[in-house]
Structure 1
Amino acid sequence: MAKVPELEGCIADGESYQQAGQNIEIIMQQWIETAQELGREIPTPKTRSILA
């Protein structure tokens, strides 16, 4: 599983760490696009995604 603490609810998984890392990149982009569409603030990144 991979998650981005700064982006609430931004979590992805995959069959491997590599796949989870690839999936979180997609989910982060979708999260940011949705936030922009809704006029919400996008937090400044503090860390890279965390694979757990």
Structure 2
Amino acid sequence: MKQTFTASVWQEGNWFVAQCLEIDIASQGETEAEALSNLEEALSLHFEPPVATITPQIKTIQVEMGVA
């Protein structure tokens, strides 16, 4: 199944950055085409179902929060 996403592409120094506007995923490349290709791969991996080699464990953690 194919899904269409929108990407914003810009240049930072020598690198091109491609960011998906619908999902908070970004990638980079030396060319605009490479950045977009890398973003496509990152999105594909994001939606790929996980394959655990061991049974996942659910843990809880506590984090000290500063009062502002």
Q: TM-score range by the shorter chain?
A: 0.5 to 0.7
Root-mean-square deviation (CA, aligned residues, Å) is 1.2
- Runs of 5+ consecutive residues of structure 2 not aligned to the other structure: 1-16, 51-68
Identity %: 24
Moved beyond 2 Å, runs of 4+: none
Q: Which residue of 2 aligns with 1:2?
A: 18
Q: Are residue 16 (structure 1) and residue 31 (structure 2) matched? A: yes
Structure with bigger helix share is 1
Higher relative contact order (CA 8 A, sep 6+): 1
Alignment of 1:1-52 (within 5 A): 1-8=17-24, 10-33=25-48, 36-37=49-50
- Runs of 5+ consecutive residues of structure 1 not aligned to the other structure: 38-52
Q: Normalising by the residue count of structure 2, what TM-score does the alignment of the two structures yield? A: 0.45
- Counting matched residue pairs gives 34
SS state of the match for residue 13, structure 1? strand
Structure with bigger strand share is 2
